[in-house]
Chain A
Amino acid sequence: MPRFYHDDPAWSDVTPIPQLESGQVLAGISYTAEYSEAMSYLRAVMAANEYSTRVLDLTEHIISLNPAHYTVWLYRAQTLSALNRNLREEIKWLNPTALKHLKNYQIWHHRQTIIDRLGSCDGEQEFVEQMLEKDAKNYHVWSYRQWVVRRFGLFGDEGERKWCEGMMERDVRNNSVWNHRFFVVFGGLKGEVEEGLLKRELEYAQDAVRKAPQNECPWNYIRGVLRQAKKPMSTVKEFAKEFADLEKPDEVRSTHALDLLADIYEEEKKNDEAKTALDLLANKYDPIRAKYWEYRARSLDSAAVEA
């Protein structure tokens, strides 16, 4: 049932501002009469800086017609703040809307604004989980979760890390989970990475590699952890060799192990070995990136010349 304002006594004091006509335009939209009128009233209340309950109703109405409308969301947030509204109610209203429009950017920013003002993230982790059930790699949902961690000081939080492990059991290839783990574990870290932490994180990633050696994520994670801890890559040399041994070039079990070995040999100034690994990648195991592997081999030469 379309909703109109022109015959609504509650809105009789407002003179709507119709969309400006500016001659022939491109990509014009033939709006429905309902949307067109609602937007005219929004322009009018915004021009008058009106923050009121009826403005909240109006924004809710427009959001139902077009949830991808950042202006309406931003103005709704301002109105809520000006009216000092019960923000828990807002979250309750927001939940089904978010679940219905998974890819919508604005909803997440709105949520962040509200939760920030509320100053409590009670229930947020559960809600995020519900969203990830539907779309386990949604960038906005993960970014929101990272904001929650930062805002509410969940760095190093064991519960958050365990939750990541549950997500990882569902899909060890979900790179968003790997990123979140890294963020939770190292994001709040000041100073050195302690040995125990380093060991735990390396072992976690190494276990994941064993489940699926060709999975890119845990190999990248190992690199990230070593870099964070300022440790050489040769720390994991023996581990990498389990999956790629230059003596057995036909039995390579992971291109990522070869890639890592190339870096380890470079670190050890064993350029011939590094080149062998890069050759295997370029010519046999990963030819689509041949130019990249060749570039890496060239870089070895130029580094040798400089030295």
Chain B
Amino acid sequence: MVKDIFRFQGIISFFDEVGKVARFAGRFFKEFLKPPYEFRELLKQCYVIGYQSLFLIGLTGFIMGLVFDLQTRPTMIEFGAESYMPAMIGISIVREIGPVITALMCAGKIGSSIGAELGSMKVTEQIDAMEVSGTNPFKYLVVTRIMATTLMLPILVIMADAVGLFGAYLVESMKGGVTFQLFFNKVMNNLSFGDMIPSFIKSYFFGFAIGLIGCYKGYTSKKGTAGVGAAANVAVVIASMLVFVIDLIAVLISDIFYDL
């Protein structure tokens, strides 16, 4: 009985939280259209979120392509389908692995840093100080960060895709003697817009979700240093989970279009 009540309250507080995040997102859309626009801060955040993640995303993308190729090669050879390697790798990376791995890395790196930064600004009253000095902190801090993650994530995904394919090419050229030209011809011939556009679109949603959750958790963080840690931690967990949920929804939707 007591357990049931706890479970029930857990469900209620889950939906309560979902409602609050939705309201936070609503506020984002309301405020992001209204002037004054914080262009300088947006550019700075694009730099911090995009440029400063290039190395991390590049490296993980490269290893991802390399490992993926190494792992699948033996099976493909067994089936006598070695020549399909570039096509299979290309489609897998562009449609699924590139976006999801990039988004997960960004949830970890960017989601936690936004959560911690805004959380500590909140508990040290820096957000209040902004508010009384005439700058809308929601616009200055939240809108710019969510926009920056939304704009930067697709770019990072494209880079991860490219570097990942390059990693796979290295394996193919060493193990199978495939030339660069042949590899990329095969990749491109087998990739259609139907592969690229949905994954490009879902990358925007990944970016939006990561920025939204990081900002929400930081901006509403509880007092005390423990609150800041919790904000960063929970932001990563929820943002990563959302990445999978969005991915599932995106795949279901694009599946409908394939059937048409």
Report whether chain A binds chain B.
Answer: no
Q: Which A residues form the contact surface with B (CB < 8 A)?
A: none
